[in-house]
Amino acid sequence: MPQLPAADAARIAAYLGADTGFAPINVVAETGSTNTDLLRAIVAGEASPGAVLIAEHQTSGRGRFTREWLDTPGTNIAMSILVKPKRPMTQWGWLSLLSGMAVTTALRSLDATQAFRVELKWPNDVLIDTRKVCGIIADGNGEYAVIGIGVNVGQQLEELPLPSATSLALAGLPTDKSLIIARILTSFAQYFEQWQLTGDIRTEYLALSATIGRSVRVILSDTESCEGEAVAIAGDGALVVSRAGVPTPFAAGDVVHLR
């Protein structure tokens, strides 16, 4: 597929409006990792909270558990957001969860008639028709946090990294990267502000979750997994799974929806 028009920083800023807390918004053609770039910029004193870095192609993108995040140049969104949380670091696990909430809300807003197809699987996997369309990773240094968001936008089947993945184009949803980025940032700002003020956005998370109430398998490693019913989200964002009536929290792991 031909490359989509590149993300445009001026258009993104225009969509966000004058009161946006996101600045500067920078778009680069290629980099290793937008998260790594912003972390380095923090150390060098060259970045401040609200900075957004977007790349048309990442050569060293990462997913959860140090997995590679692969993309075809020009067909996806790869961006990182720099924030300075006020909440204790023990609560920072919510940053990746609320980022998944932001992407889910943003993608649902692109076409209200198709919103039901976009789901959020714990902790932050955004799915369309049960296939993954977005990956999120959060890094921090104790004072600042960087949230990396990757969205498959224009990829065709042969360009996808996994058979279980999809893209907005394949799903028949809008592929205007500047508009999508602005919608994600707008939703992110709302959830982040609420979390900063209250420390508890579980009600909002549950309203978007496709995991709670389902039978699930939590994969902890190549050799270890467990099954049960996902019944709740703990205060720290952990998934609570009932196993023979005994609730067990899981702070990390890959979740498979069984039904």
The mean per-residue pLDDT over the stretch 33-49 comes to 94
The enclosing H or E element of 152 equals: strand 145-152
pLDDT at 65: 47
pLDDT at 50: 97
Report helix, strand or coil for 196: helix
- Cβ atoms of 6 and 74 within 8 Å: the answer is yes
Confidence of residue 241 (pLDDT cuts 50, 70, 90): very high
The verdict on pTM exceeding 0.75 is yes
pLDDT over 50 at 105, yes or no: yes
pLDDT at 84: 97
The enclosing H or E element of 197 equals: helix 177-198
Name the residue with higher pLDDT: 161 or 193: 193
pLDDT at 221: 86
Question: Which residue intervals of the chain bear CATH 2.30.30.100?
Answer: 212-257
- Which residue type does 42 have? I
pLDDT at 61: 60
Question: Which residue bears the tokens 């996808």?
Answer: 160
- Of 58-67, 133-142, 243-252, give the lowest mean pLDDT range: 58-67
- Note the pLDDT tens digit of each residue in 216-237: 999 988 889 999 999 999 999 9
**According to DSSP H, which parts of 44-127 are helical?**
94-110
pLDDT at 67: 56
Q: Is 206 exposed, middle or buried (0-12, 13-18, 19+ CB in 10 A)?
A: middle
Confidence of residue 68 (pLDDT cuts 50, 70, 90): low
Contacts of 210 (CB under 8 A, 6+ apart): 119, 120, 121, 127, 257
Question: Which residue intervals of the chain bear CATH 3.30.930.10?
Answer: 9-206
Confidence of residue 1 (pLDDT cuts 50, 70, 90): very low
Q: Could you tell me the fold of the domain covering 212-257?
A: SH3 type barrels. (2.30.30)
Question: Which residue bears the tokens 């918004």?
Answer: 25
For 9-206, CATH number out of 3.30.930.10, 3.40.50.12170, 3.90.1170.50, 3.40.50.2000 equals: 3.30.930.10
Name the residue with higher pLDDT: 102 or 159: 102
